[in-house]
Amino acid sequence: MERWKHATVYARSAQSDVIPCVNLPFQHGWRRRAFDAVLAVPGLRRRVDWLTSLDDEDFDQRLATAAQPVDLFDGVMGHCVDATRQVPLRSARRVVTSLNTHIQHLDRVMRDESRRVGATTPLFVSPRMVHRVLDELNRASAIRVCSDHARQTFLDHGVAADRVHAIPIGIDLEHFHPVDKTDDVFRVLVVSSVTPRKGVHYALEAFERAQLPNTEMVIIGGTGDAWSRRLIEDYTRRCANIRLEHCDVSREPVGQHYGRASVLVHAAVEDGFGLVIPQALACGRPVVATRESGASEVIRDGETGFVVPARDVDVLVDRLRLLHSDATLREHMGHRAPATVAHLSFAAHAERMCEFYRQVLDQS
């Protein structure tokens, strides 16, 4: 946005020294009161679908009131459905940005994986959200996704190819940079929330089955429900070399997270991008990621890491054993990795976005 001469950001909380930011906090109104009431009841606070809908729809209504007339509007999928029907935004070129795969693909995969693992926490994708998003997509001038994988899911659900544009997310290459590993422990790093969608349970199973000497697994992420807490408790009880940590990888020095890793594993069954993949590559670490992780597209299979099928624990075990046994392979992969994500700098991302916006504005 700072490359665009005239732009305004509407967000829950945003700051910039260059462009105006209009913050629309979730602090009052009946939806906030309902949100707090749900959180206050132990039997209801697991209703992630209710909480997500209340938050998204509150933002949508505040945006509808605050928005001024514009030529082009870019909104995150599901957050701007009602606002784009109102006069200030209705006549603008409207971009819908999807950080995930197509909403129906996302919904199907999440429900399927939850059934597979026996997780009973309601999903944040409610039928109401699906309906709202489909309406939003139908009215969009263009749809922006983060990977070719995500784009394909839109095509598979009948969206015209010329309406869906894949633009990968940029990363801070000043922060994420190669660092030397300072010990000889083979450390498997997982940076992810512990949810069925992210596939952490497959990474845990593979690590336990691999039975590698002088190893440990570090998971940087949160457990948000009973299933995820029980999963971590079960594995850490059986395996003393598995632990959960809390760390902000975007702020703390890379030597405290990616720099300690021998390999990053991202075993997601659905992920529109997976920002941790290029972050790890930029730090000179090989990555093992599933094909369903959109950012696996930046991995050179066999050269900077491995791209594997989702849910295939046998293949994960094989790749971990290979990397553990071959320090030279790890070194060569890590050496090649940063160059493969050099095109994902913030500056390059800004240029791609500006060109995309120009194309949308030039549509007849």
Report DSSP letters for 63-99, one per residue.
HHHH----SEEEEETTSSTTGGGSHHHHTSEEEEE-S
- What tokens were used for 199? 């596939």
Measured CA to CA in angstroms, residue 294 lies from 105, 275, 307 at distances of 14, 9, 11
Give this prediction's pTM. 0.93
Beta bridge partners of 12: none
Residues 198-227: tens digit of each pLDDT:
999 999 999 999 999 999 999 999 887 889
pLDDT, position 198: 95
H or E element in which residue 146 lies: none
Torsion of CA 349, 142, 91, 24, to 10 degrees: -50
* Residue 364, pLDDT score: 62
Nearest to 132 by CA among 196, 195, 82: 82
The DSSP 8-state label assigned to residue 148 in this structure reads H
The pLDDT of residue 72 is 95
C-beta atoms surrounding 344 within 10 Å: 23
pLDDT at 319: 98
CATH architecture of the domain covering 186-343: 3-Layer(aba) Sandwich (3.40)
| Phi and psi angles of residue 316, each rounded to the nearest 5 degrees, phi first | -60, -45
Q: Give the number of C-alpha atoms closer than 13 A to the C-alpha of residue 329, restricted to the C-beta side.
A: 15
Strand 263-266: give its sheet, edge to edge.
242-245, 215-220, 186-191, 263-266, 287-290, 305-308
Q: Alpha-carbon Rg of the chain, whole angstroms? A: 21
Flag residues of the chain having pLDDT under 50: none
SS (H, E, C) 274-335: CCHHHHHHHCCCCEEEECCEHHHHHCCECCCEEEECCCCHHHHHHHHHHHHHCHHHHHHHHH
Contact 197/270 with Cβ under 8 angstroms?
yes
DSSP type of residue 340: G
Instruction: Show me where the domains of the chain are located.
Output: 9-170+345-361, 186-343
**Mind listing the pLDDT tens digit for each residue in 312-324?**
999 999 999 999 9
Topology of domain 9-170+345-361, CATH: Rossmann fold (3.40.50)
- Give, in order, the Cα–Cα distances in Å from 62 to each of 5, 14, 33, 312: 25, 15, 15, 44
